[in-house]
């Protein structure tokens, strides 16, 4: 098992400079990470930096709160794909989910998936804010809407990935969607444990440390 091939090497900081994004992409190429994950404004730069490499490019949308209008998220997703993103990591509308506006939540995910076509869509649940029942519902809605992945966290909430959440998510999605664990994964042992639990992708800013 190649750990590097499971890693989305990530820098989503507000303070990330052009040099930081270039460094992120260089590290991803050197270490053989699966993808880099960046904010929308950095997609063009990252695309250029990753030229002639196998590293995929993921962009976050509706980040980190998920509370933008659906139209805004759809536009953002299309824009990122237009600029070279291979994958979209969207934040679910947490307030709608908690208001039991399930149709609206599902329709939004579906609209974004439709907008990006055959590109990979990961739905960030931000599990730290949800009850177990809400996590289950979010997973079901994501699968029904055609998402390729469900993802634990943004890394900007009050908590990150947990083994318990991944077990719950795996139970709901089965083989109908993949799972990405992110938020607070800083050592190799933890990363390997997540993979053992059925995670296909690890989102982390500590990629090079994980491989040591």
**Catalytic residues, which ones?**
89, 151, 180
Closest CA to 127 of 97, 153, 90, 88: 153
How far apart are alpha carbons 104 and 101 in whole angstroms?
Answer: 6
* Inter-residue contact 83 to 49 (CB < 8 Å): no
> Which two three-digit tokens encode residue 150?
């469900």
Backbone angles phi, psi at 124, to 5 degrees: -85, 120
* Inter-residue contact 141 to 177 (CB < 8 Å): no
């Amino acid at each position: 098992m190649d750990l590097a091939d499971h890693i989305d090497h990530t820098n989503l900081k507000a303070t990330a400079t052009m040099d930081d994004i270039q460094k992120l992409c260089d590290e991803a190429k050197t270490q053989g990470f699966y993808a880099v994950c960046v904010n929308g404004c950095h997609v063009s730069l990252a695309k250029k930096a990753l030229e002639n490499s196998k590293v995929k490019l993921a962009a976050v949308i509706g980040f980190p709160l998920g509370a933008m209008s659906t139209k805004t998220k759809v536009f953002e997703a299309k824009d990122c794909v237009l600029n070279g993103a291979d994958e979209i990591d969207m934040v679910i509308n947490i307030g709608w989910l908690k208001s039991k506006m399930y149709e609206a939540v599902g329709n939004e995910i579906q609209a974004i998936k439709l907008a990006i076509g055959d590109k990979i869509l990961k739905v960030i649940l931000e599990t730290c804010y949800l009850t177990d029942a809400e996590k289950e519902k979010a997973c079901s809605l994501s699968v029904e809407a055609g998402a390729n992945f469900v993802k634990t966290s943004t890394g900007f909430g009050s908590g990150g990935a947990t083994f318990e959440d991944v077990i719950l998510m795996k139970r709901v999605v089965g083989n109908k969607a993949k799972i990405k664990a992110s938020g607070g994964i800083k050592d190799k042992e933890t990363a390997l444990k997540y993979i053992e639990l059925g995670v296909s992708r690890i989102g982390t800013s500590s990629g090079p440390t994980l491989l040591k």
